[in-house]
Amino acid sequence: MKKMWAGRTSGKTDQIADDFNSSIRFDQRMYLEDIAGSIAHAKMLAKQGIIPEEASGKIIAGLEGILADLNSGKLEIDPAAEDIHMFIEETLTDRIGQDGKMLHTARSRNDQVALDIRLYMREENGQIKQLLKDLVAALCDQAEKYKASLMPGYTHLQRAQPVTFGHQLMAYAYMFMRDLDRLGQMEERMNYSPIGSCALAGTTYPIDRVYEAELLGFKAPVANSLDGVSDRDHVVEDLSDLALVMMHLSRLSEELILWSSWEFHFVRLADAYTTGSSIMPQKKNPDMAELARGKTGRVYGDLMAILTTLKGLPLAYNKDMQEDKEALFDAIDNVELCL
């Protein structure tokens, strides 16, 4: 099948190249965001008279049908598709005919994927922030319960001065509250729509970027089209914030591991969150805390991967930037799991 991007080339690539180039195996998780962005784009195109209202209505109905079928499992994502954007547009055209091709008017996959990532991050960070709030609430509950329970405070891992267990737990609560604050600040800086930047230099169509940004819940469009398609600062910043979340979780995990050992014996961990040994029945291992501590290194690696990928890229879009998603998705998944 001839590729959507075929122009100077024949559009016929080797199967190995197709597999190497494809991102469908990981970017398919953004189908909700891709469809939401496409519906907003179709509304804007009709509002501006760029495409007929009737065609816009057919496109929106078709996209809503695709969304319903993907959610129900009636439609499966084709693993042979190049990416989620092409899969949805090709499925739409198959269902509603040539009107489906109008959806790509005044839009490039470059600004489309930049939009999808921001929408996806906004959704996932909402979930992470709620998990952080739940964790802070749990720490506060335990701190209140043990506000008068004395324990040794440490410096250099040597007993130093007496504190209460509640005071110790609240130190972690404040760490996670700072994490919440950082994620909120990142979202504010990210809350600008790149759509309308197109490939890199905008479009000659009379689009309304402000209207489309407002439909999608953004503060405003990005001010510079080159920046709009090449900016991944928000991905780096999010990964940095998530690395800090994991660092705080790792420190708490380390203390739980120490406190639950026979050498300290300050706390007992619930059986539901520990494991035993196949040959040593006396063992009660803090595996969940150890895994959270271990996954911290993995999230650090995700941050270093994206920093290294971006460090030498000229403007504007480069295919290297496809590598941002796997690191981002991996970090988000692991932080949510650990929280």
How far CA 241 is from CA of 44, 107, 225, 248, in Å, comes to 34, 31, 26, 11
The two structure tokens encoding residue 43: 């509304």
- What angle do helix axes 324-338 and 287-310 make, rounded to 10 degrees? 160
Q: How far is it, in rounded angstroms, from Cα 41 to Cα 236?
A: 27
Q: How far is it, in rounded angstroms, from Cα 160 to Cα 148?
A: 18
Omega before residue 80 within 30° of 0, cis: no
Any residues with CB less than 8 A from the CB of 139 and at least 6 apart, and which?
A: 169, 170, 172, 173, 176
Instruction: Considering the candidates 10, 72, 156, 278, report the single residue annotated as catalytic.
Output: 156
> How many CB atoms are located within 10 Å of the residue 154 CB?
14
Q: How far is it, in rounded angstroms, from Cα 207 to Cα 221?
A: 12
Q: Which amino acid is at 240?
A: S
The two structure tokens encoding residue 50: 């760029």
Structural contact between residues 143 and 167, judged by C-beta atoms closer than 8 angstroms: yes
Q: What is the Rg, in whole angstroms, of the alpha carbon atoms belonging to the chain? A: 25
Q: How far is it, in rounded angstroms, from Cα 276 to Cα 285?
A: 6
**Residue 277 appears among annotated catalytic residues:** yes
Q: What secondary structure letter does DSSP report for 150?
A: E
**Residue 156 appears among annotated catalytic residues:** yes
Q: Which residues are catalytic?
A: 156, 277
